[in-house]
Structure 1
Amino acid sequence: MTRFAFSIAATDGAARTGTIAMQRGEIRTPAFMPVGTAATVKAMKPCDVRGSGADIILGNTYHLMLRPGAERVARLGGLHGFMGWERPILTDSGGYQVMSLSELTKVSEEGVSFASHLDGSRHMLSPERSIEVQRLLGSDIVMQFDQLVPTTSTPQAQREAMGRSIRWAKRSREEFDRGGEHAERAALFGIQQGALDEGLRRTSADGLIDIGFDGYAVGGLAVGEGQQAMLGCLDFAPGQLPAGKPRYLMGVGKPDDIVEAVRRGIDMFDCVLPTRSGRTGQAFTSDGPINIRNAKFAEDREPLEQDCPCPTCTTYERAYVHHLVRSGEILGAMLMTEHNLWFYQRLMQGLRDAVAGRRFNAHAEEFLGRYRAKA
């Protein structure tokens, strides 16, 4: 059985389409990974997530180590059986959540000491512990532990975090390789850091390549720097990473972000946006997002999106979904989330087809022109 193999089937400029082969199944790229933070893609059953076209989902190390606990998940047979998802799962390292959610954090060379956002209990998350948690969960794609600092940080802070992330990458690699049976079937990705600085990004990429990983993530973006700054960084960052390995842009994003990132050579994405937006009444459509809570939809007999094949659009009218969402009914969040996940997977299939047909730029401009027209 293949542990991990990435093949590129076609390219069009910097955009690529291909396949990641793993023991639990193949992942078509460019790929969007729905986020299952706490062992669930919110408001969705795993079979329905798969039905939307998702090949892989993301789980969160920080949240799962705090509740229900990685050791408990391991005793119950691992994350796949625990949540009923038998295809690949990527787990993030927990580094972002430690920095953004926790109180009283203290960063040292050992790792990050923090207070749980749930009950204030103290924990230490180090490269070794992060990899151990991901091993206990049974992750298929494991992320190295890294240090994220905002792009608005001082150059010195950015340089120090980038350097520490390389050292933590080496320790993550060493701990992963000690993983026995898990290391024989899982993959490990490194995370490039360096904020918006091309030189720091190059140094980070070179350090990670020297260590050696199955794939490489562009980290530290989509944290408030704005789309143009992010795209400026993506003009050089993916090209600093190995062409024959998957490139994963963490935490992105909006549909137009994804299109522009694929144009620049990115293969994998994750974001809470389609599920979070579904729960708050925003539906994504090819003509831009709509707020189904608006009164104008109260008697609208059309589906959320014309010609959308998702179960929500083929069964229910906007008026009904509007009623559910305005009434706070759980079904409203379920139907909206289902549509949004289908939209994102249709977006990815369209991008894959466009690269394969060597018409990516025309497809991208047509999509962006329509999607942004009402913005």
Structure 2
Amino acid sequence: MFDFQIKAQCPNTNARAGCFVTPHGRVLTPRFMPVGTLGTVKGVSSSQLAETGAQMILANTYHLHLQPGEAVVHAAGGLHKFMGWTGPILTDSGGFQVFSLAQLNKIDDQGVSFRNPRDGSHIHLTPEKAIAIQMALRSDIAMAFDQCPPYQATENDVEDACDRTHHWLERCIETHDQPDQALFGIVQGGCFLHLREKSAQTVASFDLPGIAIGGVSVGEPIKEIHKLVREVAPLLPEDRPRYLMGIGTFREMTIAVANGIDLFDCVLPTRLGRHGAALVRDERWNLKNACFREDYQPLDQTCTCEACTTYSRAYLHHLVRSGELLGLTLLSLHNLTNLIRFTNAIRQSIIEGCFSEDFAPWKSDSKAHHTW
């Protein structure tokens, strides 16, 4: 039910344009995936989301387990029917959220024990439980349960986290038995390249339908992300989709694509929208600023989203300054459309053989002069 084919490659870089086929449709890569943590991309309906050009979206195992519970979603017919989304869905295992958000009580080789931040109840999350939740959610892609160490962790702690991640992956594979759901493994290792290389080789050896690079954008300098992607991506199977978790800025996505990455996700576009900010090409505009008060131009004349084709900057400024929810929704829609347009343009440039000319300058400190 799953197939990944590379349709074009850039001769001067490792950039590739691919097609990932899932039970709920195909995903054309490189591709930015909107984050719908609780089965909703914040402030945006599923029909509005489809208008942004989104193909695959994310939801989160940890949050959906806490509310409403996987049994409720399963009884509704799975996450697709529950949220009214017909395209592919990827569910994160919840590992990052457990280690970054929850009040941990205990972590060992069996799993993680923590207090439910909603009601204080005790929860024990194991690799088997994380996979069982995702199978109940019936997502297209399930992520393996992993341990994501913080940036400040010592080399010994990161090595222990890698070993635990690999052991947990074995248990995830043993538990997972849903043929219409693909299981992806996750590479960990912090900023220690030798641990990253070992993790990449170990995870790749399980011959899974896809593989992700996790544990990035957790506080490390951006140059560290560039370095580890450059070193790790070539170690991953060429015939499987490669997913860089938690990255969604123009420069970082471009550099990652040049190193062979296919999929991205980030909460940035909707988070910015909820704070009154718009992504216009590769710039961030604060629509609260007074300079937009009597600016009757479209937000971006080249953009096809509802915010740009129907309303002016002055109107968006008015909505944001007034605290109207419509303004936050429109900016979120625009930001999502902007990032998806960008990855679409990258894909087209790879197919047309001009990726190096139009986008590769982002590998330096200068901005690319592209035509998208």
Q: Could you tell me which amino acid in structure 2 is paired with residue 317 of structure 1? A: S
1:269 partnered with 2:264: yes
Change (3 A) 1:143 1:287: closer
1:33–1:270 Cα contact (<8 Å) kept: yes
Residue 6 (structure 1) aligned to one of 4, 7, 12? 4
Q: Could you tell me which amino acid in structure 2 is paired with residue 54 of structure 1? A: A
1:217 partnered with 2:180: no
Which residue of 2 is the match for residue 109 of structure 1? 109
Which residue of 2 is the match for residue 238 of structure 1? 233
Q: Deviations over 1:97-125 (max 9, x none)?
A: 00111113421111011112222221011
Report the Cα distance in structure 2 between the residues aligned to 1:8 and 1:201, rounded to whole angstroms: 25
Q: Please report how far the alpha carbon of residue 371 of structure 1 lies from its aligned counterpart in structure 2 after TM superposition.
A: 7.4
Report the Cα distance in structure 1 between the residues aligned to 2:196 and 2:360, rounded to whole angstroms: 29
Residue 363 (structure 1) aligned to one of 358, 363, 366? 358
Report the Cα distance in structure 2 between the residues aligned to 1:53 and 1:307, rounded to whole angstroms: 15
Q: Could you tell me which amino acid in structure 1 is paired with residue 20 of structure 2? A: I
1:345 partnered with 2:343: no
Instruction: Report % sequence identity.
Output: 44
SS at match of 2:139: coil
Report the Cα distance in structure 1 between the residues aligned to 2:305 and 2:360, rounded to whole angstroms: 24
SS at match of 1:353: helix
1:314 partnered with 2:309: yes
Q: Deviations over 1:9-46 (max 9, x none)?
A: 01112101110011210000011110000110111111
1:207 partnered with 2:207: no
Which residue of 2 is the match for residue 86 of structure 1? 86
Q: Deviations over 1:194-248 (max 9, x none)?
A: 1112211121122112222110100110111121111011110111111111100
SS at match of 1:47: helix
1:287–1:371 Cα contact (<8 Å) kept: no
Q: Deviations over 1:116-161 (max 9, x none)?
A: 2222221011100000000000110000000000232100001000
TM-score by length of 1: 0.95
Which residue of 2 is the match for residue 62 of structure 1? 62
SS at match of 2:54: coil
Q: Please report how far the alpha carbon of residue 287 of structure 1 lies from its aligned counterpart in structure 2 after TM superposition.
A: 4.9
Which residue of 2 is the match for residue 298 of structure 1? 293
Q: Could you tell me which amino acid in structure 1 is paired with residue 216 of structure 2? A: L
Residue 248 (structure 1) aligned to one of 243, 251, 269? 243
Q: Could you tell me which amino acid in structure 2 is paired with residue 89 of structure 1? A: I
Report the Cα distance in structure 2 between the residues aligned to 1:252 and 1:105, rounded to whole angstroms: 29
Which residue of 1 is the match for residue 27 of structure 2? 27
Q: Could you tell me which amino acid in structure 1 is paired with residue 18 of structure 2? A: G
Report the Cα distance in structure 1 between the residues aligned to 2:217 and 2:328, rounded to whole angstroms: 25
Aligned length: 365
Question: RMSD across aligned C-alpha pairs, in angstroms?
Answer: 1.4
Q: Please report how far the alpha carbon of residue 366 of structure 1 lies from its aligned counterpart in structure 2 after TM superposition.
A: 6.4
1:153 partnered with 2:148: no
Report the Cα distance in structure 1 between the residues aligned to 2:140 and 2:9, rounded to whole angstroms: 26
TM-score by length of 2: 0.95
Q: Could you tell me which amino acid in structure 2 is paired with residue 7 of structure 1? A: Q
Report the Cα distance in structure 1 between the residues aligned to 2:27 and 2:247, rounded to whole angstroms: 18
1:288–1:371 Cα contact (<8 Å) kept: no
Structure 2: runs of 5 or more not aligned: none
SS at match of 1:354: helix
Q: How does 1:40-55 map to 2 (within 5 A)?
A: 40-55=40-55
Residue 325 (structure 1) aligned to one of 320, 325, 336? 320
Q: Please report how far the alpha carbon of residue 306 of structure 1 lies from its aligned counterpart in structure 2 after TM superposition.
A: 2.7
Structure 1: runs of 5 or more not aligned: none
SS at match of 1:134: helix
Report the Cα distance in structure 1 between the residues aligned to 2:368 and 2:60, rounded to whole angstroms: 30
Q: Please report how far the alpha carbon of residue 260 of structure 1 lies from its aligned counterpart in structure 2 after TM superposition.
A: 1.3
